[in-house]
Copies of this chain bind each other. A is one copy, B any other.
Amino acid sequence: MATITDVSKRAGVSRSTVSRLIAGNGYVSDEARKAVEAAIQELGYRPNTMARGLRSNRSDIIGGVVVNVSSPFYAQMIGGMQETARSAGKSIIVASGYADREEEARAIIELLDRACDGLILYLENALRDDVLEIVARSKTPVVTVGGNECPPARARVTIDNASGAAAGMRLLLDKGHRQIAYLSGGTIYRDTHERLSGIDAALAGFGLSRNDIHVEHGSFSETFGHEATARLLIERPDITAIFAGDDDVAAGALLALKAAGKLVPEDVSLLGFDDNFHARHLTPGLTTVRQPVDEAGRVATRLLLAILDGEPVAPVITIPTELILRHSIGPVRGLSPTSRHVAPALTAS
Contact partner of A82 (CB less than 8 A), chosen from B54, B91, B96, is B96
Interface segment out of the listed A27-35, A41-49, A155-163, A300-308: A41-49
Q: Is A346 engaged at the interface, CB distance under 8 Å to the other chain?
A: no
Mask, A124-145, CB within 8 Å of B = 1, is 0000000000100110000000
Shortest C-beta distance, A88 to chain B (Å), equals 13
The 8 Å CB contact of A115, one of B49, B78, B82, B110, is B49
> Taking the full assembly, how many copies of this chain does it contain?
2
Asked if A79 and B72 sit within 8 Å, CB to CB, the answer is: no
Q: Decide: B92 and A138 in contact? CB cutoff 8 A.
A: no
A70, CB-defined interface residue at 8 Å = yes
In the assembled complex, which residues on chain B have CB atoms less than 8 Å from the CB atom of A277?
72, 277-278
Please name the residue on chain B nearest to A72 by beta carbon: B72
13 extra interface residue pairs, beta carbon distance < 8 Å, beyond A50-B50, A72-B72: A46-B109, A46-B112, A49-B115, A50-B53, A50-B59, A54-B54, A61-B93, A70-B79, A71-B75, A72-B277, A74-B75, A91-B114, A93-B93
Determine if A227 is an interface residue (Cβ-Cβ < 8 Å). no
Q: CA separation between A93 and B70, bound complex, in Å?
A: 14
Flag if A82 contacts B69 (CB, 8 Å). yes
- For residue A62, give the distance in angstroms from its CB to the closest CB of chain B: 10
- CB A3 to nearest CB in B, in angstroms, measures 12
A70 touches B294 (CB 8 A): yes
Contact string against B for A residues 76-87, beta-carbon threshold 8 Å, 1 for contact and 0 otherwise: 101110100010
Which chain B residues lie closer than 8 Å to A336 at the CB level?
Answer: none
Per the bound structure, the CA–CA distance linking A74 and B75 in Å amounts to 9
Q: Which of B1, B51, B251 is in CB contact (< 8 Å) with A138?
A: B1
Q: Is A283 an interface residue (CB 8 A)?
A: yes
Residues on B with C-beta less than 8 A from A251 are 281
| Listed residue (A46, A70, A79, A109) with the most chain B CB atoms within 10 angstroms of its CB | A70
CA distance A76 to B47 in the complex (A): 33
**Which residues of B sit under 8 angstroms from A79, Cβ to Cβ?**
68-70, 96
- Is A95 engaged at the interface, CB distance under 8 Å to the other chain? yes
Which residues of B have CB within 8 Å of A93?
61, 91-93
Task: Determine if B282 and A115 form an interchain contact, defined as CB atoms under 8 angstroms apart.
Answer: no
CA distance A96 to B44 in the complex (A): 24
Q: Chain B nearest CB: distance from A202 CB in Å?
A: 28
Q: Which residues of A in the span 279-313 have a Cβ within 8 Å of any Cβ on B?
A: 281-283, 294
Q: Is A113 among interface residues, defined by CB-CB distance under 8 A?
A: yes
Instruction: Quote the shortest CB–CB distance from A287 to chain B (angstroms).
Output: 15
CB-CB under 8 A from A1, the residues of chain B are 137-138
Bound state CA distance, A115 and B91, in angstroms?
A: 12
- Give min CB distance, A29 to chain B, whole Å: 28
A44 cross-chain contacts in B, Cβ below 8 A:
134, 137
In this complex, which of A61, A76, A114 has the most chain B Cβ atoms within 10 angstroms of its Cβ?
A: A114
A91 and B94 alpha carbons, distance in the complex (Å)? 8
Instruction: Report chain B residues within 8 Å CB of A82.
Output: 69, 94-96
Chain B residues in 8 Å Cβ range of A281 = 251, 278, 281-282
